[in-house]
Homo-oligomer: A and B are copies of this chain.
């Protein structure tokens, strides 16, 4: 059977991009996976692990002939990269991304997207890993991918992008870019902020009391080992929603702190039992 795509181009061969290349090859979705990047040594490493068939630093040759382009770059770069690849796309080539922010990304990309080729995506997988060396073919399978757009009037691009993620074994959810950013500010961006702050607040213990640090602290701060470049851009590209979430979170912390100060043991117990029930509902 012929693969669905003759050529899929992945722009950016970091952890997410290289994992995508491995996944596409494994699912036999494309005859050729082409990896575009800026550093030939790193690109060759990605190719050597099987994340791409061809690699290049040349935009034109990377994109020419591609039947799908996936931009796997930090969020601020996505609209810029779209503008750079656009001259080499046919007017029907679907383009998507994997960024953690959708409102700002879709809005800025739309300024250059005269043919409606771009559909925003956010595969809700990954974690704190960086670099092609950590890439895994199974990263996407079984996960959820949020596609930013209306679930009713799907564009040609949106249909192609949805089919692509489904072919990789993902469950696709549609959300407007704005809804996506509001939800992710709460369930992903805020937790990262909380983890960064938690590690910083414990700098002395981390340096001097390593042995006393148990699995609770470690699993809670695992995501604090995420990359600064990626996450500083996410924070600024989703600034308004993240500030809203930070305020909500500090208000909640203030609530518990006040109950502790007042020795309100029943209030604290109720608060914790409520958290417990909510958290347990996620494992069902």
Contacts and interface: CB of A to CB of B under 8 A. Distances in A.
Interface of A: 124-128, 143-144, 146, 171, 173, 175, 183-184, 186-188, 190-207, 209-229, 231-233, 235-236, 239, 242-243, 245-257, 260-261, 263, 265-266, 268-276, 278-283
A83 to B, nearest CB: 21
A268 B236 contact: yes
Given A218-B282, A243-B257, 4 more contacts: A187-B202, A188-B214, A219-B219, A228-B269
A212 B189 CA distance: 13
A206 B124 CA distance: 15
A182 to B, nearest CB: 9
A108 to B, nearest CB: 16
B144 A217 contact: no
A201 B248 contact: yes
A232 to B, nearest CB: 4
A172 to B, nearest CB: 10
Contacts of A146: 212
A235 B173 CA distance: 40
A246 B198 CA distance: 10
Given A186-B202, A202-B187, A232-B272, A279 B224 contact: yes
Nearest to A259: B235
Given A239-B260, A248-B201, A249-B198, A223 B212 contact: no
B281 A226 contact: no
